[in-house]
């Protein structure tokens, strides 16, 4: 029920999205042992909160559900990347020294990976155009979507 062109575009989309994601994740993991989820959290903590944020603010900033964040933080706490401290009506999440070190290490690796696997392969003349298309596809009320 898809035309040949549509099927090819879908296939190219699936392959590209899977591989870019996997390559970036592999580069970060190889250099630091961090997962993409780890890195997302450490980055928010160090950028937005100067090392500490209330858990709910973190969830909102990431666009994550509470339970997802809670599970993720538990794994990261176990690895010594951060601490959770009870606070007024909530929990404060704090970068540990180890977490701060890891994210400092990961940041340039992440940037290089994004460049190597996404930015650089895109012809310069296509970048602006591509971004517009991606913004449409990612918009909240995308055509036909929820």
Among positions 6-25, residues that touch DNA (CB under 7 A) are 22
- Using the 8-state DSSP alphabet, how is residue 144 labeled? T
Residue 104 binds to its own copies (criterion: CB under 8 A): no
Query: Taking CB under 7 A as the rule, which mask of x and - marks residues 35-74 in contact with DNA?
Result: xxxx---------------xxx--x----xxxxxxxxxxx
Residue 98 binds to its own copies (criterion: CB under 8 A): no
Among positions 19-58, residues that touch its own copies (CB under 8 A) are 19-21, 23, 26
Minimum distance of its own copies from residue 78's CB (angstroms): 25
Among positions 104-143, residues that touch DNA (CB under 7 A) are none
- If phi > 0 it is left, if psi is from -120 to 50 it is alpha, else beta; for residue 85 that is beta
> Which among its own copies, DNA, none contacts residue 65 (Cβ within 5 to 8 A by kind)?
DNA
Among 17, 71, 80, 104, binds its own copies (CB under 8 A): 17
Among 4, 5, 88, 97, binds its own copies (CB under 8 A): 5
Sole residue written with tokens 């979507």: 145
Which phi and psi angles does 124 have, rounded to 5°? -55, -35
DSSP output for 3-63: -HHHHHHHHHHHHHHHHHHHHHHHHHHHHHS--HHHHHHHHHHHHHSTTEEEHHHHHHHHT
Burial class (CB within 10 angstroms; exposed 0-12, middle 13-18, buried 19+) of 88 = exposed
Residue 33 binds to DNA (criterion: CB under 7 A): no
**Residue 106: both structure tokens together:** 């990961």
Judged by the rule CB under 7 A, the positions of this chain that interact with DNA are: 22, 35-38, 54-56, 59, 64-75, 84, 87-91
């Amino acid at each position: 029920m898809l035309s040949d062109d549509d099927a090819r575009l879908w296939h190219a989309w699936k392959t590209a999205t899977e591989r870019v994601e996997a390559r970036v994740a592999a580069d970060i993991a190889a250099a630091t042992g961090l997962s993409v989820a780890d890195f997302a959290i450490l980055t928010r903590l160090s950028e937005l909160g100067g090392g500490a944020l209330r858990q709910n603010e973190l969830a909102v900033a990431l666009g994550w559900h509470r339970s997802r964040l809670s599970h993720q933080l538990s794994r990261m706490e176990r690895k010594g990347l951060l601490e959770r401290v009870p606070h007024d009506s909530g929990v404060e999440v704090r970068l540990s020294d180890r977490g701060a070190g890891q994210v400092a290490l990961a940041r340039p690796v992440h940037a290089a990976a994004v460049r190597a696997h996404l930015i650089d392969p895109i012809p310069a003349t296509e970048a602006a155009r591509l971004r517009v298309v991606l913004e449409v596809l990612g918009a909240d009320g995308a055509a036909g979507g929820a």
